Structure 1
Amino acid sequence: MMIDFVPDESLYPFESRWFDSSAGRLHYIDEGTGSALLFCHGSPTWSFLYRHIVKGLRDRYRCIAVDYLGFGLSERPQSFGYTIAEHTTVLGELIDHLRLDGFILMGQDWGGPIGLGAASMRADRVRGIVLGNTVFWPIEPLANRAFSAIMSSRPMQRRILEQNLLVEQFLLGKLGPTLTLAEADHYRMAQPTREARRGLAVMPNEIRVARPLLERLAQDVPALLGDKPTLAVWGMKDMVFRPKACISRIRASFTDLDVVELPQARHFIQEDAPDQITSAIANRFP
């Protein structure tokens, strides 16, 4: 199924583009010219999350932001499993389709492992990396694993599917970013029905189920990408991926790393601190 939703051009002033992957029809935007920046979102968001950053950088870079299958304006294929491994494969197909070479990858939340998984298999084509509030190693903290177990239970799966719980409570709730009503509705309307939210419902369980993939990334990323110029932009008030532990792990994995702390930003850094992120990327990759 496809989503019957057209974003407001005043909020999302981009041309929609489409790629027929091996698993389904993928939506993405491709704005500007110059070195390619590939933006990878997490859950429960879509490429709308990067709108301010794309607008701020498209005069200097080629800005590509993708919606994974099951998210945003992309297709919801019945036969797709919506696992991190499957999203990684489809993203790799898009990178190859666009013939990206010398590209800079930005990943936040699940966009980190999805993007790094695709990039590590194409390391010779990667110019640099931007990581924000993400991990590429097994997720061990008890709070994260408890969240995974609770959200994967039958009652909570029902609430995710029927009440759009992940969007309404974790993105648009009290601890989420400050958004206008129109902006909030763009996140709601990208996940409008129970059937449309099937991919969203899979993600919490992946915190535990994707462990083998994350174990492999913990080895591959330092080995294959560890010498790439890297920027970490971190929301220091994030309760999902704690800054101290995560940044130290990233420091140990990359030899050419700059860290920019975002003191007031929480998990959804692209909403909380887009101007700071835009400036940090432009300064790191002139």
Structure 2
Amino acid sequence: MAEPTAGVRPDWVDDELFPFPSRFVEIDGHTVHYVDEGSGPVLLLLHGNPTWSFLWRDVIAALRGEFRCIALDYPGFGLSTAAPGYRFLPEEHADVVTGFVDALGLDGVTLVGQDWGGPIGLAVARRRPEAFTRLVLANTWAWPVNGDLYFEFFSRVGGASPLRFLARRLNLVVNAFVPTGHRRRKVTAAEMAHYRRAQGTPARRQAAAVLPSRITASRAFLAEVESGLADLSRLPLLIVWGGADRVFRPQERERLEQSFPDHTTVIVEGAGLYVESDAPEEFAAAVGDWLVRLSPPSRSPDRPR
């Protein structure tokens, strides 16, 4: 299977399953793919591992009538391509997302982050506090986990050489995590094809293979994220949590709740790690209802035409 052509939407993307025009922007030499749907207050949707903006398609369809929904792919994920020398580290992804926010001139942003999109997005919000007004987090964390035996085991095993080899050779991260991260419903063959084709070569799978080891290896970055929570705690936070997640435990959710005095929690019973895809109607309703109850954030400038 050939490597993707930078800045081109590949033919394997089903326009009915992912019915949003693809846009591309150059950020620090990377070609970053994103979708930009609707108008109104901005929702910046950040994915985790091993997914891409495709994860958010049902949420975008549900919310674009009231909000401007922007979902991007980190370099090496989805339809984005990385410049030479990129190592696919979460701290690098945070740099790219910061550049993306600057390039699009976004403000009045509600961050919506899941899995790795949580710490990546929180790092960006700390660096650009003037751009962000609301936070939504789903099945994620925001601090170093070194010394936590659960995460130490997960990171060491997932980041070990044999597993990294299988991740690159057999697309193991996609084949293992995407199905098990959906607990309410079975992922369709067409959906799995979109996750597999986005990482269709061993080189493309490197981005997903790197991240398990970074759960502990990116300690300095996660410490930066944690140190920023005090400043970000002034913002209202909505937590939408898949209650049947097999990766993040209730104590991660509880620690987020303790870090943000102005928080609202919605537990989606029976949903897994990818709650926004596993139970998109409930996820979108929770986000939309919560934002309506708050005073509307300032509008972002219109997207480029």
Residue by residue over 1:62-97, the C-alpha shift from the partner in whole angstroms, topping out at 9 and shown as x without a partner, is 000010001000004331011011000000000011
Partner of 1:242: 249
Aligned to 1:163: 170
Q: For 2:161 and 2:36, how far apart are their aligned partners in 1?
A: 39
Give the counterpart letter for 2:246 in structure 1: M
Matches within 5 A, 1:217-256: 217-221=225-229, 223-243=230-250, 245-256=251-262
Paired residues of 2:106 and 2:131 also in contact (CA < 8 A): yes
What is the 5 A alignment of 1:137-176?
Answer: 137-140=143-146, 141-173=148-180
Q: Which runs of 4+ in 1 moved over 2 A?
A: 1-6, 172-177
Residue 46 of structure 1 and its aligned partner are, at CA, apart by 0.4
In the TM superposition, what is the alpha-carbon distance from 1:173 to its structure 2 partner? 4.8
RMSD of aligned Cα (Å): 1.5
Distance 2:191 2:107 in 1: 33
Residue in structure 1 matching 2:118, options 112, 118, 122:
112
Q: TM-score, normalised by structure 2?
A: 0.89
Alignment-derived partner of residue 300 in structure 2: none
Structure 2 residue identity aligned to 1:207 = I
Matched, 1:62 2:64: no
Check whether the contact 2:51–2:78 (CA below 8 A) recurs between aligned residues: yes
| Distance in 1 separating the partners of 2:154 and 2:178 | 15
Match of 2:198 among 190, 198, 206: 190
Give the corresponding residue for 2:299. none
1:160 CA displacement: 0.4
* SS of 1:139 mapped into structure 2: coil
CA distance in 1: counterparts of 2:139 and 2:228, whole angstroms: 19
The TM-score with structure 1 as length reference comes to: 0.95
Distance, in Å, in 2 between the alignment partners of 1:255 and 1:173 is 32
Query: C-alpha deviations, 1:174-225, integer Å up to 9, x for none?
Result: 966511111111111111010111111111111011111111211212x221
Residue from 32, 44, 48 that aligns with 2:50:
44
Q: Which residue does the alignment assign to 2:218?
A: 210
CA distance 1:174–1:89, shift in 2 (3 Å): closer
Q: Is the 8 A contact 1:235 1:269 kept in 2?
A: yes
Structure 1 window deviating more from structure 2 (71-80 vs 187-196): it is 71-80
Classify the secondary structure of the residue corresponding to 2:51.
coil
Q: Spell out, residue by residue over 1:23-68, the C-alpha distance to the aligned partner (whole angstroms, 9 max, x if none).
A: 4100000000000000000000001000000000000000000100
The answer (yes or no) to whether the contact 1:76–1:199 under 8 Å persists in 2 is: no
**Percent identity for Structure 1 against Structure 2:** 38
Question: Residue type matched to 1:276 in 2?
Answer: E
Q: Output the CA distance in 2 between the equivalents of 1:5 and 1:142.
A: 44
**Equivalent-residue separation in structure 2 for 1:5 and 1:161 (angstroms):** 23
In 2, the alpha carbon distance for the partners of 1:240 and 1:139 equals: 13
SS in structure 1 of the partner of residue 135 of structure 2: strand
Q: Distance in 1 between matches of 2:201 and 2:192?
A: 16
Retained in 1: the 8 A contact 2:182–2:275? no
Could you say what secondary structure the match of 1:115 adopts? helix
Per-residue CA distance 1:243-278 (angstroms, 9 max, x = gap): 2x1222112111211100111111111121111111
Residue identity matched to 2:195: Y
Say which SS state the counterpart of residue 44 (structure 1) adopts. Answer: coil
Q: Supply the AA of the counterpart residue of 2:31.
A: R
2 CA distance for matches of 1:135 and 1:174?
16
Using the TM superposition, give the Cα deviation of residue 229 of structure 1 relative to its aligned residue in structure 2, in angstroms: 1.4
| Cα contact 1:33–1:59 (8 A) shared by 2 | yes
1:136 is aligned to 142
Q: Deviations over 1:141-184 (max 9, x none)?
A: 32322121112222111100010000011213596651111111
C-alpha separation in 2, matches of 1:237 and 1:207: 21
Instruction: Give the length in aligned residue pairs.
Output: 284
Aligned letter for 2:152?
R
